[in-house]
Chain A
Amino acid sequence: MTDPGPAAEPARSYHGQPVIKEPVWTWEIPCYFFTGGLAGASAGLAYLSERRGNEVLARRAWAAALVGATASPILLISDLGRPARFLNMLRMFKVTSPMSVGSWILAAQGASTGLVALHAWSGRLARPAALARPAAALLGLPLSTYTAALVANTAVPVWHESRGLLPFVFGAGAALSAGAAAVAVTPPRHAAPARRLALLGAACELGAKELMERRLGELGEPYRQGPASTLGHVARACIAAGAAVLATRGASSRAAAVAGGVLLGTGALSARWSVFKAGFGSASDPRYVVGAQRERIAAGQTPGAARTAPRVASPRSELGSPATAS
């Protein structure tokens, strides 16, 4: 660490206590970030492969989308404090709540993917399924990125202050996850589009996350400490190794494709988990919360929420507190 210099006084706090609360979300939520992206981008990959006549890849990508779309609501409901009340999520539609918007997107995308699967297995409902294919693919796009809006729209500095880049990190992660899953289960000669998607996603994920962490500056410290840092290292190593395996041997060897897919999938999940964990480190340390706000005040962008100058000229003693009224 470099010396911050005399200008940067350490932020004051109340006995070192956090100013904001850490999230109460548990392991289901980072897993959902992964499965939601997997479901969303896999549907797009499946639909486009189908249009290109690559049935082998399309079938497997639809299966991956179905797995993601099935696991996602289970994970989310299991994280609720009152799982039996999960239907309250669809009690209203609120654009001010990314969680509300996301619940509707997930419900619609999941239902569309379910229809596609039902038609594939039973041959029934052909016309609704024909509509459901593009619907699942299109809804999969916001499904992959809204989770970034969800965490960015909080008071947690490391999430809120990276609000411009976080959706791109999550979008790249979704492409990576879908590509990795499809590569792992598809014979290499049919998997070229999935390999391209996985490699493109890997490059964007690594680049966007690195850029995001750098732009955060001091607020990005939680990414360089504790579990978020460890998970970040795991993510980078897995993604780099997986991409290398896939780029060199992925087209010729089924085993290499499986290994590359597993590595990339693990990397994508670790990257989501790293973002999740960084939020806890950011919320629990008052330095980040108070420091960022003090900087805004020092820069003259805002006067802050406290004011020493009274808006009346002279005190009226009878309105003062009885303890000190003269």
Chain B
Amino acid sequence: MKLETIAWPGSYGDQAKPRMGFFTDTSVCIGCKACEVACKEWNQIPMSVQGFTGHSYDNTIDLGANSWRHVAFIEQRKPVDADGDGSLSQVAARASLAEDQGLATYQEGDGIRWLMASDVCKHCTEAACLEVCPTGALFRTEYGTVVVQEDVCNGCGYCVPACPFGVLDQRQDDGRVWKCTLCYDRLKDEKEPACAQACPTNSIQYGELGELREGAEHRLAQLQHAGQREARLYLADDDDGVGGASAFFLLLDEPEVYGLPPDPVDSRRELGSIWAATAAAALALGAGLVAAALGGRR
């Protein structure tokens, strides 16, 4: 397990703190949205009324400048046979009841599975937002997290399409970008982030990243052992496209079902080839100019 980032802990020397993060265990999320509320309250985030979406109980829609935690709600018509009970005919009967008769009462055993998950900025090991930020407003803290300095950001917007998770966004009427700070201010006072403190089921766990990862492995083993074959850890490894992340997740389906990219990659990994193509194109333009100016009689 390699937790280092480019700037952490190296650039902090003695001042470096352990790398802190979130482990969001979605298998125990009850969709109460206490995390969303606690985050808004503590960080004094402006209201964001988006109207009724019809996306189950989700009217927050996505992460953005004014939503730093977002609880996703997914309703799936599939039998939940974690315990292995129910014969094939029972399962089929339930499924046909739900599909043919339109009976979906959201009671246990109706063949409806409800997934809930609290999403947040991942604080990637290789953070594209931080790398493309031209002003240095985005920086790596002593806790290994990624934070926007609101007094430096000039609202250029480069980090917005650079983030492979679509976390950052520009705040209308303010012009700057905003995102989760992993409660940088609270961490400095050795308090846990507001969302983690508010979570009633410990779905959001806060702690040292190394310890969180160890605990998550045991939780995954426990769920797999109990028959939850679809349980998986997301962003828990150093060798994925962003080098792992400070905020990682236990999911019960494919990442895209939760609105998460299945194979996010920090675009900087290709930046060498991008600069090479850019330089080659600049030289080609130079050659074209010379050919046009010197070719012909005059």
| Contact mask for chain B residues 256-281; partner A; CB cutoff 8 A; 1 contact, 0 none | 11111111110110110111011111
Is the CB–CB distance between A179 and B270 below 8 Å?
no
Is the CB of B21 closer than 8 A to any CB of chain A? no
B: number of interface residues (CB 8 Å): 109
The yes or no answer to A27 lying at the interface (CB within 8 A) is no
Is A82 engaged at the interface, CB distance under 8 Å to the other chain?
A: yes
Chain B residue nearest in CB terms to A148 = B278
- What is the CB-to-nearest-CB distance from B5 to chain A, in angstroms, rounded to a whole number? 13
Cβ of A152 within 8 Å of any chain B Cβ, yes or no, is yes
- How does the 8 Å CB contact mask read for A86-107 relative to B, with 1 for contact and 0 for none? 1011011011111110010000
Contact between B170 and A321, CB atoms less than 8 A apart: no
**Contact between B175 and A80, CB atoms less than 8 A apart:** yes
Closest approach, in angstroms, between the C-beta of B139 and any C-beta of chain A?
11
**Considering the chains assembled together, what is the distance between the CA atoms of A13 and B230 in angstroms?**
17
Once bound together, how far apart are the Cα atoms of A88 and B177, in whole Å?
15
A316 at the interface (CB under 8 A from B): yes
Chain A, 276-315, CB within 8 A of any chain B CB? 279, 283, 286, 289-290, 293-294, 296-297, 302-315
Overall SS of chain B's interface: mixed
Docked-complex contact B283 and A20, CB < 8 angstroms: no
The answer to whether A142 and B263 touch (CB under 8 A), given A15-B58, A307-B232, is no
- Interface residues in A1-36 (C-beta closer than 8 Å to B): 11-15, 17-25
- Complex interface: chain A residues within 8 A of B61 (CB): 17
Whether B263 contacts A149 by the Cβ 8 Å rule is: no
Flag if A19 contacts B267 (CB, 8 Å).
no
| Residue A196 is within 8 A (CB to CB) of chain B in the complex | yes
Interface set, chain B 272-298, CB cutoff 8 A to A: 273-275, 277-286, 288-298
Contact yes or no, B131 A302, CB < 8 A = no
Q: Does B141 count as interface, using CB distance less than 8 angstroms?
A: no
B217: CB under 8 A from chain A? yes
Mark out the residues of chain B between 128 and 143 whose CB falls within 8 Å of any chain A CB in the assembled complex: 128, 131-137
Query: Do B214 and A192 have beta carbons less than 8 Å apart?
Result: no
Chain A hits for B215, CB < 8 A: 319-320
The proximity string for B residues 198-217 relative to A, scoring 1 for CB distances below 8 Å and 0 otherwise, is 00011101000000001101
Contact between chains at B221 and A196 (CB < 8 Å): no
The answer to whether A103 touches B134 (Cβ under 8 A) is yes
A154–B161 touching, CB < 8 Å: yes
Residues of A within 8 A of B265 (CB): 155
Compute how far the CA of A201 lies from the CA of B292 in the bound complex, rounded to whole angstroms. Answer: 10
Q: Is B11 engaged at the interface, CB distance under 8 Å to the other chain?
A: no
Complex: how many Å from CA A52 to CA B202?
A: 75
Question: In the complex, which residues of chain B have a beta carbon less than 8 angstroms from the beta carbon of A14?
Answer: 72, 74, 256-259
Q: Point out the residue from A41, A97, A279, A296 that lies within 8 Å of B132, measured CB to CB.
A: A97
Instruction: Output the least CB separation between B250 and chain A (Å).
Output: 9
- Asked whether A310 lies within 8 Å of B293 as measured between CB atoms, the reply is no
**Chain A residue at smallest Cβ distance from B228:** A308
Give residues 88-142 of A contacting B (CB, 8 Å): 88-89, 91-92, 94-100, 103, 141-142
Closest 9 CB pairs of A and B: A81-B155, A81-B175, A14-B259, A167-B281, A315-B222, A48-B293, A85-B154, A197-B292, A100-B134
Query: Can you name 19 A-B pairs with beta carbons within 8 Å?
Result: A14-B256, A17-B62, A19-B260, A41-B285, A45-B289, A97-B132, A99-B134, A99-B158, A141-B283, A141-B285, A145-B281, A163-B277, A168-B277, A175-B292, A200-B291, A294-B256, A310-B221, A313-B221, A319-B218
Query: Which positions in B face A, CB cutoff 8 Å?
Result: 25, 27-28, 53, 55-56, 58, 61-62, 64, 72, 74, 128, 131-137, 152-158, 160-170, 174-177, 201-203, 205, 214-215, 217-222, 224-225, 229-237, 240-242, 251, 254-265, 267-268, 270-271, 273-275, 277-286, 288-298
